[in-house]
Amino acid sequence: MSEATETPAAGPRGVAAIEAALATMPLLPGVYRMLDGKGDALYVGKARSLKKRVVAYTQPARLPERLRRMISETVTMEIVTTHTEAEALLLEANLIKRLKPRYNIVLRDDKSYPWLMLTEDHPFPQIAKHRGARTRKGSYYGPFASAWAVNQTVTAMQRVFLLRSCADTVFSARTRPCLLFQIKRCSAPCVGRISEAAYADLVGQAKTFLAGKGGAVQQALAKEMETAAEALEFERAAFLRDRIRGLTHVQGTGVINPESIADADVIAAWQIAGQTCVQVFFIRGGRNNGNRAFFPAHTKAEETADVLSAFLGQFYDDKPPPPLVLLNHEVAEQDLIAEALSLKAQSFATHKRVEIAVPRRGEKHAVVQHAETNAREALERKLAESAGQAKLLAGAAELFGLDAPPERIEVYDNSHIMGTNAYGVMIVAGPEGFVKSAYRKFSIRGPITPGDDFAMMREVLERRFGRALKEAEAGGAPDWPDLLLIDGGAGQLSAVRAVLADMGVDDVKLVAIAKGPDRDAGREWFHTDGKEAFQLPPRDPVLYFLQRLRDEAHRFAITTHRAGRSKALVTSELDEIAGVGPSRKRALLNHFGSARGVKAAGLADLEAAPGINKATARLVYAHFHPGARLEGAA
């Protein structure tokens, strides 16, 4: 794979820039990027032959208006050559997801997916939910659509296979069984209620079940139950009967848990009014691991099949595809996409081949139809919510004298206890509701007099708008609010107005929401420039909307403050010792029991602690005894 920039940033524009790039463009597979004058990606595409594909852009009259506009903005072209077209497809999806070009169909999916983990670095493996890198040795099953879905599976696995879910530190510290043993969700290996060999059998059964062979596990349990009954071990037989019932419940089949599908993703797209919802069902081991709706960003002219095709590459950019992908629409280059996904699966060392199919009959077709129904209903809900949101934004615009409904509303709040662990927050709302990816936390740096809310708000606004102004000076396009809401009265409004005026910001509408008498919701006073303070009728929908914005900011401020306070509570004096990392700090705490125990320890005791060498022991001792003269010190 090689990369080249075909024209300089100061070169020609539009068709001329593309023609200049074509002069040296190879007839090889690869990916091309069209960049604007600032170097931002306008469009990312792949080709079997770069030169043959890009030459089409030199005849804009044959292209739709969207692409003609893109060509006119193009200043630079960059290419990356690959060995095969399938590799180009994977690279294209990766670049689109990372660069988010304005003229591509973009999947905005920045969330990691949870997995189910069975550890393999402990005599009694733990079953747990896992996110992120797979750094711990173990078996991983998934992905799951949500934390709720994986938690449900963990609970079911505990009921059927009695596996422990506690952390290793909790396991090693237990002296008697916990509640999970009492309610028959754990076999209590922590206190020796089950042997290592018997627990290993349970783990083996769990792995067999997760591999999609639940029938074999059920048959083995049934045989074991019959043997126990014949031996007159009725209590054990009843216990095994309960496990079989739990397994039967987990394996329930139907459209939601299809019997004929082992490992597959069911992906269905539905389009209304130029917007598309893509619904994905994760099926692993014959079980439904949940579903999730996605709303890719694209122009209204894009066809459903094109959106679905772009979705496939970007969706599997950071996760292994299953052996089977079921769709509700035929997509262009379906064989090529299957080849690319097979390469992706091989890179994860899961399997060698991925099949893409559009079933027309049978259980697989029923599952796809079910996903399609979910996609349609999710899109209809989103459109209904957007329509309601549009009316509320229009009402807010009329109420506060804005020229148009606000596209971006920012709400600010502070939270602290007598000035300690002080945080300011910003939440954002717009036509699609709350934009949680745009939420921001500001740890107050000070120095600020404890409880001085005005000074805290000044710091938050200076940091938020100062950063935006610097970005604008550098030629960027920062997100700018149309409406700024503050929890407070006329005093807060004046303070915020002064802060923004000092920074030269005078094009943002400011509104303060003051709580009414006795802090009753529904009797708030609104303060804004150009109008006397006023109240809204108690049942006004716009009032509910503004209350919801304020309450969301307050909720976010409280949770941010609590998280910061909790973090501060778990810090210790050991954190202040330079050169003592997490592993050695853990070793000291495990040996001495607490930071106080480490502080009281003598040098010889520190040197004798497991995992602590003499240099570290002297470092720790010197920190707690700064006046002491150590033997051998200069």
Supply the CATH number for residue 327's domain.
Answer: 3.30.420
Cα 395 off chain centre by? 33
Do residues 335 and 355 lie in contact, with contact meaning Cβ atoms separated by under 8 Å?
Answer: no
Q: Give the integer Cα–Cα distance in Å for 392 and 544.
A: 9
State the residue range of the domain holding 452.
409-567
- Write b or e for each residue in 68-107: b if 16 or more Cβ atoms lie within 10 A of its Cβ, otherwise e: eebbebbbbbbbbbbeebbbbbbbbbbbbbebebbbbbbb
Burial 334-348 (b: 16+ CB within 10 A, else e): bebbbbbbbbbbeee
Total number of domains constituting the chain: 5
Residue spans of alpha helices (H) in 319-358: 334-347
Crossing angle for the helix pair 304-315 and 85-99, to the nearest 10 degrees? 90
Q: Cis peptide leading into 143, omega within 30 of 0? A: yes
What is d(CA 305, CA 474) in angstroms, rounded to the nearest whole number? 39
The structure tokens listed for 577 are 């010792």
Residue 385 lies in a domain: no
Domain end point (choices 522, 538, 567): 567
CA dist., res. 81 & res. 49, Å (int): 9
Structure tokens at 142: 């998934």
- CA 68 – CA 327 distance, rounded (Å): 32
| Residues 6+ away with beta carbon under 8 Å from 382 | 275, 277, 295
Identify whether 74 is part of a domain: yes
542 and 419 share one domain: yes
**Nearest alpha carbon to residue 249 among 220, 204, 219, 218:** 218
Of 567, 587, 605, the residue at which a domain comes to its end is: 567
Are 434 and 549 contained in the same domain? Answer: yes
Comparing CA positions, the residue from 487, 311, 354 lying closest to residue 414 is 487
Angle separating helix axes 334-347 and 85-99, nearest 10 degrees: 80
Contact of 317 with 94, CB cutoff 8 Å: yes
- Do you find a cis peptide bond into 447, omega within 30 degrees of 0? yes
Query: How far apart are the C-alpha atoms of 392 and 387, rounded to whole Å?
Result: 9
Domain shared by 224 and 292, yes or no = no
Contact 72, 14 (CB under 8 A): yes
Averaged pLDDT, groups of 10, the chain, 634 residues long: 52 86 92 91 94 93 89 93 94 92 86 88 92 86 85 83 90 90 90 92 87 72 76 74 65 54 92 91 86 90 92 91 95 93 89 92 91 91 84 92 94 75 88 89 77 82 90 80 91 90 90 75 83 87 90 89 64 71 79 77 85 86 74 51
Q: Is 41 contained in some domain?
A: yes
The first and second tokens of residue 542, run together, are 């716009």
Distance CA(582)–CA(590), nearest Å, equals: 12
Q: CA-CA distance, 367 to 281, in Å (whole number)? A: 9
Dihedral over Cα of 128, 131, 135, 137: its sign:
positive
* Residues 422 and 554 grouped into a single domain: yes
Instruction: Say whether both 320 and 174 belong to one domain.
Output: no
Let me know the angle formed at the C-alpha of 254 by 249 and 257, rounded to the nearest 5 degrees: 70
Query: How far does Cα 394 stand from its chain's mean position?
Result: 31
Number of other CB atoms surrounding residue 280 within 10 Å: 20
Q: Residue 382 gets which letter from DSSP?
A: H
Q: What span, in angstroms and rounded, lies between the C-alpha atoms of 250 and 272?
A: 36
The Cα 166–Cα 600 span in angstroms is 32
Q: Are 143 and 283 in contact (CB under 8 A)?
A: no
Report the pLDDT value the prediction gives residue 103, as an integer from 0 to 100.
93
CA distance 169 to 166: 8
Q: Quick one: how far is CA 431 from the chain centroid?
A: 21
Helix, strand or coil, per DSSP, at residue 50: helix
Q: What is the DSSP letter of 438?
A: G
Q: What is the pLDDT of residue 9?
A: 45
Inter-residue contact 102 to 42 (CB < 8 Å): yes
Residue 491 lies in a domain: yes
Q: Is residue 93, in this structure, part of any structural domain at all? A: no
Pull the structure tokens for residue 300: 């209204």
Residue 519 sits in the same domain as residue 439: yes
For residue 58, the domain's CATH number is 3.40.1440.10
pTM of the predicted model, to two decimals? Answer: 0.69
Rg of the chain taking only CA atoms, in angstroms: 31
Q: For residues 419 and 561, state if they share a domain.
A: yes
460 and 530 assigned to the same domain: yes
Please, what is the Cα angle at 199 between 195 and 203, to 5 degrees? 165
Dihedral of CA atoms 578, 583, 587, 593 in degrees, nearest 10, equals 80
pLDDT score for 8: 44
Residue 433 β-bridge partners: 430
Comparing CA positions, the residue from 471, 425, 422, 473 lying closest to residue 448 is: 422
Give residue 248's pLDDT. Answer: 64
Domain shared by 303 and 226, yes or no: no
Domain co-membership, 509 together with 525: yes
Instruction: State how far the Cα of 390 lies from the Cα of 461, in Å rounded to an integer.
Output: 27
User: In the numeric block, which tokens belong to residue 629?
Assistant: 């003269």
Q: What angle do CA 247, 249, 255 make, to 5 degrees?
A: 120
| Residue 404 placed within a domain | no
Q: How far apart are the first and last CA of the chain?
A: 57
Indicate the residue among 80, 107, 130 that finishes a domain: 80
Would you say residue 392 lies in a domain? Answer: no
Do 231 and 295 lie in a common domain? no
Task: Let me know whether 559 and 620 are in one domain.
Answer: no
Is residue 305, in this structure, part of any structural domain at all?
yes
The pLDDT of residue 386: 81
